[in-house]
Amino acid sequence: MVNYMSKAELEEVLWVEKYRPKTLDEIVDQEEVVQALKKFVESKNIPNMLFAGPPGTGKTTAALALAHDLYGENWRNFVLELNASDERGIEMVRTKLKDFARSRVTGEIPYKILILDEADMMTREAQHALRRTMENYADITRFILICNYPSRIIEPIQSRTAVFKFKRLPKEAIVSRLKFIAEQENVDLRDDGLEAIIEISEGDLRKAINLLQSVAYLGVPVTKEVVYRTAGLVYPEKVEEMIKLAFDGKFESARKELIRALVEEGVSGEDLLAEFFRAINRGVINVDPEDKIGLLRFLSDLDFRISQGATDYLQLTALLAYIADLGMKYKKKA
């Protein structure tokens, strides 16, 4: 017999939902956006809106908080939330979306809200169909489109929405939220583990919370070692060691470390390449600007090749060989 979880039980499991701000007053570090949304709530009239910005910065949370403040505790009766990445074609617009948009509601506020997440994943045909739906039902439905890349939204839709840009969350805000969650859930969050989560999440609070949750389920203190192992990533120090070994002419030693990371630790080539990129930008090796530019250009070529299905090991070995060549060049100069 299948044991289905209740909604309450599911929210206990999904920390992102459990600790998501419920009202606009609870949202931090997006002051300009929040102030504008509060004015819409006060007037009880909102325009069609486009929320754009990096992932994990509170776009969906702001849309749901706006609906809560506007409609009260029964806000879910007036809101439909769809994810365009699940159904990105024109058929979704003609069925689910249109059926909700044309239905009328009664009450003090005469319109509903349709939240369309990841709208930049929609095809152009679907976006043109959405534009017509927005025009036809403007009196009874408001649309909040959410995306990471506003340039992928067609101009006719952008011109029909008020655009709000969300900025990356500062480190202090993420640290504060993670510490609050750890305290509420009785998680032993160590300082080095917290720093590791911050570094891996790169300003994405949702990613940070999910990573904390994954580590917490292991029932062990949240340390740097456990965080990196759970995330399937390699220590930045190990990548720096590979680079230095190759640059110092110890190519075989660097390649052994690469094999250990790919095979024994199970790190993906894309994640490892991203860490190489960060290490080189940190200046782990001292090279002239033109050589650094060439190395970064080579990295971008490798990233494209790996994304197209090239073998991780061969591409990253080529990177170590490139760095070894640079090292030989600087030895000759010396």
Its CATH architecture, for the domain 7-165, is 3-Layer(aba) Sandwich (3.40)
What is the pLDDT confidence band of residue 87, given thresholds at 50, 70 and 90? low
Per-residue model confidence (pLDDT) at position 193 = 93
Rounded CA-CA distance 318/314 in Å is 6
Per-residue model confidence (pLDDT) at position 11 = 45
Orientation of helix 312-333 relative to helix 251-259, angle to 10°: 160
Per-residue model confidence (pLDDT) at position 12 = 46
Rounded CA-CA distance 120/147 in Å is 5
Task: List pLDDT tens digits, range 172-225.
Answer: 999 999 999 999 989 999 999 999 999 898 889 989 999 999 898 888 999 999
- Put simply, whether the predicted model's pTM sits higher than 0.85 gets the answer no
The C-alpha angle 110, 60, 212, rounded to 5 degrees, equals: 150
Per-residue model confidence (pLDDT) at position 4 = 46
Going from the C-alpha of 227 to that of each of 19, 193, 246, 274, the distances in angstroms are 21, 6, 27, 17
pLDDT(137) > 70: yes
Going from the C-alpha of 93 to that of each of 59, 97, 186, 267, the distances in angstroms are 22, 5, 44, 39
Per-residue model confidence (pLDDT) at position 273 = 93
Per-residue model confidence (pLDDT) at position 1 = 35
What is the pLDDT confidence band of residue 334, given thresholds at 50, 70 and 90? low
Per-residue model confidence (pLDDT) at position 28 = 81
What are the domain boundaries of the chain?
A: 7-165, 171-231, 236-333
Task: List pLDDT tens digits, range 71-82.
Answer: 998 898 999 888
Per-residue model confidence (pLDDT) at position 88 = 61
Per-residue model confidence (pLDDT) at position 163 = 94
Task: List pLDDT tens digits, range 257-314.
Answer: 999 989 888 888 998 999 999 999 988 999 999 999 999 999 999 999 999 999 999 9
Rounded CA-CA distance 234/267 in Å is 7
Q: Give me the percent of the chain exceeding a pLDDT of 70.
A: 94
Exposed/middle/buried for residue 209 (C-beta within 10 Å: 0-12, 13-18, 19+): buried
What is the pLDDT confidence band of residue 158, given thresholds at 50, 70 and 90? very high
pLDDT(6) > 60: no
Token digits of residue 152 = 């992928």
Least confident of 11-15, 48-52, 106-110, 119-123: 11-15
Per-residue model confidence (pLDDT) at position 8 = 44
Task: List pLDDT tens digits, range 211-265.
Answer: 999 898 888 999 999 998 888 888 888 999 999 999 999 999 999 999 998 988 8
Per-residue model confidence (pLDDT) at position 246 = 95
**Contact at 8 Å (CB) between 229 and 220?**
no
Per-residue model confidence (pLDDT) at position 89 = 62
Its CATH architecture, for the domain 236-333, is Up-down Bundle (1.20)
- CATH 1.10.8.60 fits domain 171-231: yes
Same fold, 7-165 and 171-231: no
Phi, psi of 222 (to 5 degrees): -85, 95
Per-residue model confidence (pLDDT) at position 267 = 86
What is the pLDDT confidence band of residue 86, given thresholds at 50, 70 and 90? low
Q: Give me the percent of the chain exceeding a pLDDT of 90.
A: 53
Rounded CA-CA distance 30/48 in Å is 19
Per-residue model confidence (pLDDT) at position 325 = 95
Alpha-helical (H) ranges within the chain are 7-13, 15-18, 31-43, 59-71, 90-92, 98-101, 124-136, 155-158, 171-184, 191-201, 205-216, 224-231, 236-247, 251-259, 269-281, 289-307, 312-333
When the pLDDT of each residue in the chain is averaged and rounded to a whole number, the result is: 88
67/10: higher pLDDT: 67
Question: What is the rounded average pLDDT of the residues 30-34?
Answer: 90
